[in-house]
Amino acid sequence: MSQTVGRVPQRRNARSNRARILATARQELGRNPDITLEELARAAGVVRRTLFGHFPGRAALLDALAEEAAEALQAAVAAGAGATEPADRALARFMLSLWPVGDRYRMLLALARQDLGMERVTGILEPARIRATAIVEQGQRDGVFHSQLPAAVLSAGLEAMTVALLEEVNTGALEDDGTRVATTTLIAAGVPEEQARGVVDDVAAAPSASAPS
């Protein structure tokens, strides 16, 4: 009985240490993509052995961060997927849900090609890409978004813009809670600026607009 009770705090401590290491990695890798695991251990307030007990190497740590990002992204995509609403509201909700996830894991952008590989990154982004293209297709059918580009191409362009804006957050040039980015995305899709602002403000006021933590 006492051994079982003793294991519970150990498991809790292990979970706490793992979560702290990952949280520190998200922060520190954004500042310095080349930070060593030893430096991360010090920043997380754990000894080297503890960090290596959870993550035996850099690849294992980045893989865990990628898994976290994929789960958070899937949850954000699913949050508004069942709603029946105009495409401009759907796109606003989509962007407001995804921006906090992208902001939280933006350090992965700097590590994508070198450490994770583009195939892994594509897998992480696939649910969001499918949903975004579906929203754009709906908006083009309804005349809410412009049709100068095919839906898949316009969606890819909006994604590239979002990635570029996240990189600007990395450099410190941009700070946003998602509302300006969502408004800009709607404008880029063809929604008049005043209407875009109103839609985003309205959607942002709804509790369901925020991404799961």
* 1-56 matches 58-209 in fold: no
Nearest to 155 by CA among 126, 178, 175, 116: 126
Residue 158 contacts residue 189 (beta carbons within 8 Å): yes
pLDDT truncated to tens, each residue of the chain (213 aa)? 445 544 555 577 888 889 999 999 988 887 888 889 999 999 999 999 999 999 999 889 998 998 988 898 888 888 767 668 999 999 999 999 999 998 888 878 777 667 777 788 888 889 999 999 999 999 999 999 999 999 999 999 999 999 899 989 878 899 999 999 999 999 999 999 999 999 999 999 986 544 444
How many whole angstroms separate alpha carbon 52 and alpha carbon 43? 14
Q: How many CB atoms lie within 10 A of CB 175?
A: 9
Class level of CATH domain 58-209: mainly alpha
- From the list 29, 33, 14, 176, the residue with the least C-alpha distance to 95 is 176
Assigned CATH for 1-56: 1.10.10
At 69-105, the pLDDT tens digits run 889 888 888 876 766 899 999 999 999 999 999 888 8
- Domain borders along the chain are 1-56, 58-209
**Cβ neighbours of residue 97 closer than 8 Å, sequence gap 6 or more:** 76, 77, 79, 80, 209, 210, 211
